Every structure is written in C-alpha cells, then in structure tokens.
Structure 1
Amino acid sequence: MSATLPRIPPGSLIDGWQVSKPLGDGGFAFVFLGEKNGRHRAIKVAQHRESSGDLKQTHARTLRELTALLMLDHPNIVRPQGYGLAESGNLYLALDYVDGWTLAEWAERKHPTVREILGVFEKLAGALAYMHGRGILHRDLKLSNVLVRKSDGEPVIIDFSCATYTLAEDLTDGGLPPGTDRYRAPEQFKFLREHKDKHRARYAFQVADEIFAVGVMLHELLTDPRPTEFRPRFDLNSPALPPPPPRLTNARVPAELSDLVENILARDPKKRPVDTEALRRELADLRAERSAEYDVPVHPPAEQRHGGPTPAAPVVPSTPQSLKRHVALMERPLRAGRWLAGVVCIVALVMATALWRLSGSAPGGSAGSHDAATPRPPPDIPHSAPPRTTPLAMTPAGPSSVTPPGPAIAAAPKEGSALKTPAPEASLPGRAPRSPKKSVAAVECASLSLVAALAVGCPGAQIRPERFTCPAGAEEAMREQLHWKEGDSFSLQLDDRQAAFANVWFTAGGEVVGVVPKGITDDRQLAVAPVGTRFYGKAYYLSDKMGRVDGPALIVRYDRVKLPGQDEYPICFVVENEAVAFKDGRVKGSSRGAGTVVDRWP
C-alpha cells in the first residue's frame, strides 16, 4: 500500500524552507509546498518504503534524479532549484512549483479539442526527443506525471524518480525497472515470462517503451471522458490482444489520429515511430490538418461531468447492459473485418481482465512498481487548488537547448543548502537499516562526483540507436525529388561547426549539421548532392560492430537534407566512421566521411 504523508504541520521547516502544505507522495518521496525568502518551491524529500523496490538505495536514487535533472534544460521539463539535507537526514530536492492540472484533470475540466490535445502531445514528444538525445529515459510516463500549467496551458513532464541515464547504476533488484504496470510496453512482460528462471536478468528499457507509454496516455484521453476516476480499465498492453482503435470507441477521433495511436501501441516495437522526434513530426502534421473534425471537443462536456454516461471500451464491463454496449461498439463499421472476427475473444478477455484486476494481482509479478496495487478513492480537490494526485508540482523555465549544461546549470542549486553526507547513525523510524558505512560513503561520493561533473558541463552518452524504419516520406522523397538511389555514397563534412580533415569530438546524441564541402569531384554526387548541400541529423556511439566498421564506431544518422535553393526533404543517410575515443559522453572521430543512402536505419 502507498504510505501516507508524514504529519508535518504548516509552518514547520525543512532545511530553512517553511512548509505551507503537503502536495502529494510518490513511490520514492514526499512532496511539500515550501517558502523561503518569498520564493515558493516544491520540496521533494526522499523516503524509503519496502514496497517500492528501492532496496535501501534511497539517497542514491535521489542523487540519480538530481543528476538527470541537471543534464536537462527544456521549457516542458521540470527544473531543479536546489538540494540539501532535511532535518530527518534525508536528501531533498527543491523544484519549481507550478499551479496546474494533471493531464487527466485538464482533459476533464478544459474539454479540449482534438487539435488542442495534439498540441500538448506534440510538445511532450519534443521534450522527450530532447531528453532522449541527452541519454535520459523517464521510465514512468503517465497522465499524473504531466502537468498542464493553468496560466498558459504549457505541459510539463515531472517526477524523475524512476529516470535513468547512460552508464547509470542499476538500483532496482528486479527483472523490470520501476514504473507503472498499465503504461509498460508488452515486451516488458514478455521478457519476464522468458527470463522468470534467470534471477539476474534485467530488462533493458528502450525509447520504444517510452513511446508506448505516450500512446497509452493519448489513447486514454481520446477514449475516456473521465480519466481521473479510479476504476478497472481495459489493459492496453495485453500480450494477447491489441487495444481497440480509439475511433472504434469514440467516433469523434479522426481516422488518421486513430491510426497513429494504433501504430504507437503496436505489439512489435519496430512498428512504432522510429523515435520521439519522428513521433513529434507525425503529431505536428495531424495538428496542422484543416479538417473541422479536429476543432470539436474530444468528448461532449456533459459526459465529462460526474454522473454522465460511463465510457464503454476503456472500462471493464461489469453488468450485462455494459457488456452489450461494449459489443455494440465493437460492431461499428470501422475495421469491421478485423474486429468482428474477434468479438467473442475480446469479451472473454475483458471479463477475465475484470476479475484479474479486481483480485489485485499485477501482470508478470513485476518488481519495482511503485504504484499501489489496490485502487484508492480519488481525493476531493477544489477546482482552485493545485493537484494533489501527483508526486510533485513544478514549472520549468528557460529556453530549450540541446547544448550541454554549462555554468548556468551549475548555479541552479544556489537556493538549497550544500549537500552533505548524513551522519551514519542518522535514521528515521521505519526506515530500512543503512548499508555499512564504507559502502554508503562510496555510493554517495561517486554520485556527488558525477553531479559535480555534470554541473560544469559534461554531457551524457546517447542511447544506442535502434533498428527502425526511415522517416515518413523519406523513400519517396529520395526517389522522386532527390533522384537518389539506395547505395549512393556521398562525401561530406559531418558537422560544419567542426574543423575539416581532423579527428574531432562529437556529443553522443547531439545535433549535427553536415555539409558537402568544396573540392568534390564525383560527377554523380555533384548532380544530386552538390556543394553546399546540408544534412541534418544526430551522432551516436557504438562500442560493437555495426555495418562496415569493425569495432567502436561513430555513427551519424541524417534524416533531413536541404539542397541549395530547394526545399527540405526527409532522408535516410548514414555515415559510419571509426571511433578513435569515447569519454564523458563524447565520441571522437574523423570530421570527414562518406555516407550511404539506405532504405532503413542499420
């Protein structure tokens, strides 16, 4: 069960921060609204709970969250403002506070149109693309971990308690990383089944898992008029049956958007969008559609008020009448050929899921989930009050940037007290015993060293690029507009900001802008990719063999091109150079190379 908030009355102090009120509790922390010198912050105090899967790594997990946040500076991602030690001896983070709604609350109270929902998710996908480019995975994306600010409607990704980054230490002793079962991709449960007898097997969380979680959030907002209610719901990650298309449940969902959600929730991760930047582009394209069906509320406002009709498909039917309504929805004309054949199976699975959910069991017996297995009654929240169903409430500030964090980030913790190693004997009642003094000191020293390095601008390593299809429209553009053929090879300077003809450092996951330099003599290239052609993409580092490079490799993957005087086109173009060195999230390799036109990412 979820722990209740500690009884810290208003006016109490947490390292000089005066507590105004509790905001909520997550799997790994309690959160309070604090005030100091006229500034209000969300004060997130680390906690340990046996049921959380934290395994006595309370401080290490909080330091990892701080490390991840220091690597990020984006307007749609939470921002740290300080850190220190609470009087209890536990670490705390001070984060910007925002008066906002969770995504579920926003959908119920603002009655957004399809276009408005697409606008929010486009920004979320852009923030995730930036985050993934820094080598960071959130791992607990869900409706309650995204706030929509009341003042300007901007979405903010919050709660990095489960986040990880390249080379981060694994803190959870379980097959799956911490997270929320409903938002897990189906391949996670498949991994558990296949490795149930391998005690040390650990699932490698990927960008595809993050994309699936986005799909679950989008599907829920499109099909459920009251997503804040606690009740059994149809599992969207069932290994046996894909979820019904949103348009089958809610006729207001445009067909193109329904198709996209189906792709995002595909059982095969290779069929999902290539990455979160590709997802952002698809969402942007739909948002730009001129059709009037994008400008109507996704749900009739009357259905979003308590006491209105209950949504059929996302909710497990529990009475004959609701079961009939569910089957009736499944018999709508859209995709009837595929779905009518499976109506009986769907009904059986839905009923089995209802019994399974109500029994309180979790799929796969996953370790590390920090959400309660038993539904809790929703808190009574006044419309004017900040949400209390989220672990914390924060607002980011500052412009979006893909450059490594520099001195500005290093100065961020100025509001919190200096981070000190707590005395070994300090312990809260109910907390698990500490590790031996030597191991605790080693963990905290190593973590603080990493935080210090990040604060002065050391970038994180990028996640390994995966085998996915090219950007939408790339094959047609290369064939019809660019007249490129698969296997064409073009020479270019990999990044026009770097020195030519030299071994230079690239930030793993960083943006690069290649250019065709002067001096090219190949007639074929000059005809279809002349001097001045600019290639846009990202650099990656691989420690093993990939393509023609035998050994560590610098991989530059370009997905857009602009020829002099022409429009920009999507492409699939890859450069593979030998990696001379790799250090602190940067890879060193030649600034010149010959790339190849491909029909999918290698």
Structure 2
Amino acid sequence: MVMHAENFQVYPEALGPGTEVGTWRVVERLGVGGFGAVYRVEDMARPGEFYALKLALRPGDERAEREVTLLMVKAVHRNVVRFHACGRWPHPQTGYLYFVMDWVSGWPLDTWAEEVNPSFRELAQAAGKVALAFDALHRAGVLHRDLKPAHILIREPDGEPVVIDFGIGDYAGAATITEQTVPPGTLLLRSPESVRFHREHHGRPGARYEHQPTDDLYALGVSLYRVVTGHYPFPPHLPPDMLYLAIEAQTPPAPADFNRRTPQALSDVIMRLLAKKPQERYPTGAELHAALMAAVSFGQTAAWEASLFEWDDEGQGTELEPSATPRRRIRRPEWPTYSATPPAARLVIAPALPFVQLPARGDVVEAGQEPPAGEPPARQRLRSPVLVVPVLLVVGVGMAAWGMRLLEREASSDAKEPAPLSDAVTLPSPHREVAPVEALPEVVPATAPPMVEATGVAAAPLAALTKEDAPVMKESKPSASALKKVGMKAMGVAGACLNLACSGPQVRPAPPPEDCPPGALEAMKELGIERGDAQVFVFDVIKGEPHVITVREGNATLRLGGEWKGLPKGGLLYGKLYLADRVYGRFTWLRVNQGRTYPVCIDLRSSGRERGLERKPGSDADSARIWTTGYANPVDHFE
C-alpha cells in the first residue's frame, strides 16, 4: 500500500517501510540524529538500486541546507560520501528538506576493527586515505567538526574508507547559524583548545570558537586511539566537567602501553595527534599521511601484518545448536595497562667499572627490571648508564692521584717488597663492548616512555700500565722525572676512561638488503616506471637553486623534478634516509598530483649515478652535509 504524507501527520524521524519521498521508496530506517533521520531507500525508477536518504527533522533547517551545499559543491572527494539528489517533502516548497547519497554497505570504523579485526597495515592504509581526504577538504576551506568512528565507514566490497555526516560541517564564507560558544559536537572528541575556550568564554555574548583543521585531526586521533585499543582516551562515563578537565590537562596512556601488539611508530603517530597544543600535532592531513606511510614502510613486517587484537573463540556451539559455527570476538585489552602480550625485552649492558658488580655472563637486564633483593640503593644507582661519564672521570682522576701518592709513600718508606700493581686496582677488560643508551624522544607525561634500542659501539681499549711503566722501588728516592712519567701514565689511564664514555658515535653501517614493499613492483609496472630509469629529484623543503644542506637520519620527502613516464611533474616520494659512509635513501611511496598514492621501490643515486649521496665536508656521525639534488632510481630490491 502506498502511503501519502498529505493525508496524515508527518513524523520525519519515523517513516515506515514503503513511504514514498519524491521518487524514492523507504526500505528501512538507518538512524536518527539531532538534526536528521537517515533511511535506506530504493530508486523507484530503477528497482534494486539502493541509496541513503537524509531527511531534516524541521522545515527550513539551515543546517540541512548547508550540508547539501557541502556535499554537492564543497566536499567532493572520492573518500567522501557521494551526493545524488535533493528536494523537499511532502510539499516541494514548504516541506522538509531531504537529500540522497550513496548507501555505503560496510561498518563504522570501530565496528570494522572489532568485527573484521584487520591488520595494522590495513588500518594505517585506511587512516592514510582519510588523512588525504581531510587534506583536500581543509585546503578547500571545509571543516567536518564532528568526526568520530561512526562517521568513517569502511566499504565492504573494497575496504575504502568513506567519510559521512557533515550535519554540523562548515566552510569558508558560510554564514553563522548558531550562537553557541563552541560548535555542536561530541564531547569525547573535542580538542583541548576548544575545551579551554569553552571554559574561559562560556556565557560571554558573541564569543565563538573558530574550529581549525587541527581540531578535525585531533578527532581523527581520538578515533584511531579507540580503534587500536578498544577504548577512548578518557572514560566516556565521566561527568562532563571531569571529562572537560581530563581532555584539557591529562595525557592518556599511549596505545602501545596496553595493547602491546600496536607498532610503536603507530602509537607515536596517534599520540602526536592527541597533543595538547595544536602546533605540536600534524598541521595537515598530507603530513599525517606521510607519517603513516613511512611508519608502515620501515617498520617490522610481522608487527604491521598482525591483527589489531587477539581472537577469543567462544566454543564450538551451544546445547541447542551443537554444530553451530563458533562466534569469534576480539580480546579487548583492559584499561589502562593490562595486556596479555608481555613487553619485549631490551638489552642494556652497564659499563665495566671496577666497583660495580655486573650480571653474570649470559644474564639479560630488561627495561623496568627490579634490582636484586637486598642490593644497596647506591649500587642500584651506579648501574645507570647516565652516570658513566662522571663516574669514569672520578676514577681517572683518582687513579692519577693514587699513582702520585703511591710513589711518594713508597719513596719515604723502607719497604723492600713493593705491592704489585694488580693487587692495588683491577682494570676493566679492554675488549668489552658498551651499548650506549641514546637520548629518548620527547617523553609524554603520565606514560611509560619506550626504551630506545641500544646500538652496540666498540669501546676504545683502555690504556694499561706496562711492566716498564710500573714503579720500581729502590732504596734511593726516585727522581722527579720518574714521578712525572708515572703520573702521565696514570693520567693516560684516566684519559682512556674518559674516551670510553665521551667519544662520539661512530659512523653507522650501511642499511642491510631489504625487499621492496608489497605491491611496489606491480604498481611501478602499471605506472610504466622501469628498473634503472632514474629521475631527477630535489628535497621537498628546498626552494631556489640547488645547494648543500644538512640532513639527519629519518623520514624524508622528495619532489620529482620532471615528468616520469607520463606522470605529471611534481610528484612526491616518501621514505627514509640512512647515514653511513654515504647517505642512503629508500623511498617506498609515490604520491602524484591527482592525490593518488602508490607503493614503489626507489633508492637514491648521486649525480654520478653512484648508490647513495656523497657526504660533504662538515658532516659528522649524527648529520650529513649533502647536495639537494640527485637521481631517484627504481629498483627491484634494496641492496
């Protein structure tokens, strides 16, 4: 039976199946929000084709009109839900505004994470596409202002993320609709700066918070936190005033602190998105995308291919249905720090000091390990690598003074048998390797900072006193030259100790061979990029004529200097630099000007086509001076 709205009272939030809205027939209601109801509808002109129809809850709703403008003109992107038609119902002039979009068959982002349990690589790729979509929206002056997991759908056929619901969105030049201090939205996903503005300006006439792109990216960070941990950064059940306080002042535990399956690089990206100050976050979606792709490309493959959570099977059926397929569900980590996955061990070897007891051979000192029971606090502190330099300085100076005092004491005594040097002091082994602890990155308050994996550096051998150097005691008083000689040798030991602690890091070895990222060879073949077909590049941050710059090891972005097999000029390469005898580069993502991103396998060559870039004078172990241009060279593996 066909139902006509003119014959009865209209309730736009409760249309029944079969109701006709324009040329669309209601199939089912998908949801109701504060400003509109969404239905799955069928195109009556094309039976079997289904769409999503959003119907305003109030006639003449300016917010619905703004959403139509956004989707039809401003927010057009392949990862934003597509607009098809609009109209008014039941009366074409005075009725409720409606518009028709794609019906996205899939899951909200958090549901997808828990039902499908994808890999961290799949999540990073989906998040990267959302980041690029927001980069395009923000450059067009469009702000979502209500981003949350429910507003990012993962399309079932192809896994593409689709951003939906611009009901409280805004765009540059749009008229002000509300008089509220902050835009309507979900409290859990508000940024710290918007919360602070609301607290300081609540009740003041005309005070309105200007939503920024960094607010949208903060909300994306909250959404990703929810996805990888199963929890929001702050408990949703808190009273609003306490929740406001937590968002503004507290730092949540890092995702890797309690879902230890999370790759550390992904955890770091999410925590940067949640930084309290907007200038400390990624300023654009493009930079967020680059960070995600670099993290995936250079992380451990096994960690990124792992699923987000462990599966927890519930058995093989029930008494009523013993043959039923077991239902799978994730094992959600407990808030805040419990995890079924133990933390990885970190090897930290303390330097060999004569008065510090080292672990027995083969023992491993793990990060966070409690010291042995009964060990004095002073000895516990002496195990810290941070004390290596001052302790060795004291040892060296003390040894020098000891040598001088020994000679004077023996010269003034009548002893016939001088004490052997080996009985007086025990020198460390000259062949022990010391693993220095590098400086930690900026520490996030209220979280346990990850231990930086130590890099083994061979210690300089300690100078030892030879037989000729040992003081030979005679009945006569030693000469001043003998005293000077022994004193200088003792100071030599001190100098060797200081060299052990203070010598600069050695030049790192060249990176080991590595396979290309998955799909890179196929993508390059599709693009027509052939092995050895090099193209000129320039570092993306460099403007003007080529010159010498200083770089450090880590992520980098290159800009192609010309067309490459038909690709438009100006594509960007994302990858990493390695400092060794030369500066090596491995770049694994190519972004073309149309916004599409492809996996690639490209290393850097000098102007003479040598692998790696030459280190210019002025380079040191932690930085390198290089020329700003060279060749991006496609390869089938990294040598």
Match of 1:266 in 2: 275
Query: How far did residue 117 of structure 1 move?
Result: 0.5
Question: Are the structure 2 counterparts of residues 333 and 125 from structure 1 closer, same or farther at C-alpha, using a change threshold of 3 Å?
Answer: farther
Contact 1:225–1:299, Cα closer than 8 Å, also in 2? no
Matches within 5 A, 1:230-245: 238-245=247-254
- Whether 1:296 and 2:306 are equivalent positions in the alignment is yes
Matches within 5 A, 1:168-207: 168-207=174-213
Question: Are the structure 2 counterparts of residues 168 and 481 from structure 1 closer, same or farther at C-alpha, using a change threshold of 3 Å?
Answer: same
Match of 1:278 in 2: 287
Question: Are the structure 2 counterparts of residues 140 and 151 from structure 1 closer, same or farther at C-alpha, using a change threshold of 3 Å?
Answer: same
Choose the corresponding residue for 1:32, options 39, 48, 51. Answer: 39
Match of 2:79 in 1: 76
Contact 2:311–2:331, Cα closer than 8 Å, also in 1? no
Question: Are the structure 2 counterparts of residues 22 and 565 from structure 1 closer, same or farther at C-alpha, using a change threshold of 3 Å?
Answer: farther
Match of 1:223 in 2: 229
Contact 2:114–2:330, Cα closer than 8 Å, also in 1? no
Query: How far did residue 107 of structure 1 move?
Result: 0.7
- Please tell me the residue identity of whatever aligns with 2:334: A
Measure, in 2, the Cα distance between the counterparts of 1:484 and 1:537.
26
Measure, in 2, the Cα distance between the counterparts of 1:119 and 1:341.
29
TM-score by length of 2: 0.48
Match of 2:409 in 1: none
Q: Deviations over 1:248-302 (max 9, x none)?
A: 1211111111111111110011010121111111111122235121110111122
Choose the corresponding residue for 1:136, options 119, 122, 142. Answer: 142
Question: Are the structure 2 counterparts of residues 340 and 276 from structure 1 closer, same or farther at C-alpha, using a change threshold of 3 Å?
Answer: closer
Question: Are the structure 2 counterparts of residues 325 and 339 from structure 1 closer, same or farther at C-alpha, using a change threshold of 3 Å?
Answer: farther
- Whether 1:23 and 2:26 are equivalent positions in the alignment is no
Contact 1:478–1:484, Cα closer than 8 Å, also in 2? no
Contact 2:37–2:57, Cα closer than 8 Å, also in 1? yes
Match of 2:334 in 1: 312
Q: Deviations over 1:492-539 (max 9, x none)?
A: xxxx9xxxxxxxxxxxxxx9979xxxxxxxxxxxxxxxxxxxxx999x
Q: Deviations over 1:119-151 (max 9, x none)?
A: 100110011111112110111110000111111
- Please tell me the residue identity of whatever aligns with 2:78: P
Moved more, 7-16 or 262-271: 7-16
TM-score by length of 1: 0.51
Measure, in 2, the Cα distance between the counterparts of 1:341 and 1:167.
41
Measure, in 2, the Cα distance between the counterparts of 1:286 and 1:65.
35
Contact 1:235–1:243, Cα closer than 8 Å, also in 2? no
Query: How far did residue 16 of structure 1 move?
Result: 2.5
Question: Are the structure 2 counterparts of residues 333 and 111 from structure 1 closer, same or farther at C-alpha, using a change threshold of 3 Å?
Answer: farther
Give ranges in structure 2 of 5+ residues lacking alignment: 1-10, 315-326, 344-366, 370-439, 449-538, 551-561, 563-567, 572-591, 595-605, 611-627, 629-639
Measure, in 1, the Cα distance between the counterparts of 2:86 and 2:201.
39
Matches within 5 A, 1:3-402: 6-36=13-43, 37=45, 38=47, 39-48=49-58, 58-70=60-72, 71-87=74-90, 89-224=95-230, 238-289=247-298, 291=300, 292-302=302-312, 310-313=332-335, 333=368
Choose the corresponding residue for 1:483, options 548, 553, 561. Answer: 548
Question: Are the structure 2 counterparts of residues 78 and 333 from structure 1 closer, same or farther at C-alpha, using a change threshold of 3 Å?
Answer: farther
Query: How far did residue 310 of structure 1 move?
Result: 4.9
Question: Are the structure 2 counterparts of residues 94 and 116 from structure 1 closer, same or farther at C-alpha, using a change threshold of 3 Å?
Answer: same
Measure, in 1, the Cα distance between the counterparts of 2:17 and 2:110.
28
Question: Are the structure 2 counterparts of residues 512 and 69 from structure 1 closer, same or farther at C-alpha, using a change threshold of 3 Å?
Answer: farther
State the secondary structure of the residue aligned to 2:291. helix
Query: How far did residue 478 of structure 1 move?
Result: 8.1
Contact 2:146–2:168, Cα closer than 8 Å, also in 1? yes
Moved more, 142-151 or 63-72: 63-72
Query: How far did residue 27 of structure 1 move?
Result: 2.1
Matches within 5 A, 1:448-463: none
Question: Are the structure 2 counterparts of residues 160 and 303 from structure 1 closer, same or farther at C-alpha, using a change threshold of 3 Å?
Answer: farther
Contact 2:254–2:271, Cα closer than 8 Å, also in 1? yes
Measure, in 2, the Cα distance between the counterparts of 1:340 and 1:309.
27
Query: How far did residue 565 of structure 1 move?
Result: 11
Measure, in 2, the Cα distance between the counterparts of 1:173 and 1:16.
36
Contact 2:82–2:101, Cα closer than 8 Å, also in 1? yes
Measure, in 1, the Cα distance between the counterparts of 2:232 and 2:202.
37
Measure, in 2, the Cα distance between the counterparts of 1:146 and 1:213.
12
Q: Deviations over 1:232-260 (max 9, x none)?
A: 79969621211111111211111111111
Match of 2:423 in 1: none
Contact 2:38–2:52, Cα closer than 8 Å, also in 1? yes
Question: Are the structure 2 counterparts of residues 108 and 80 from structure 1 closer, same or farther at C-alpha, using a change threshold of 3 Å?
Answer: same
Match of 2:637 in 1: none
Query: How far did residue 184 of structure 1 move?
Result: 0.9
Give ranges in structure 1 of 5+ residues lacking alignment: 49-55, 315-322, 344-472, 486-495, 497-510, 515-535, 539-562, 568-596, 598-602
RMSD over aligned Cα atoms? 4.6
Structure with higher RCO (Cα < 8 A, 6+ apart) = 1
Measure, in 1, the Cα distance between the counterparts of 2:441 and 2:213.
32
Q: Deviations over 1:157-208 (max 9, x none)?
A: 0011011100101112200012111111110010012212422100000011
Question: Are the structure 2 counterparts of residues 169 and 566 from structure 1 closer, same or farther at C-alpha, using a change threshold of 3 Å?
Answer: farther
- Please tell me the residue identity of whatever aligns with 2:170: T
Contact 2:144–2:170, Cα closer than 8 Å, also in 1? yes
Match of 1:52 in 2: none
Query: How far did residue 303 of structure 1 move?
Result: 8.3
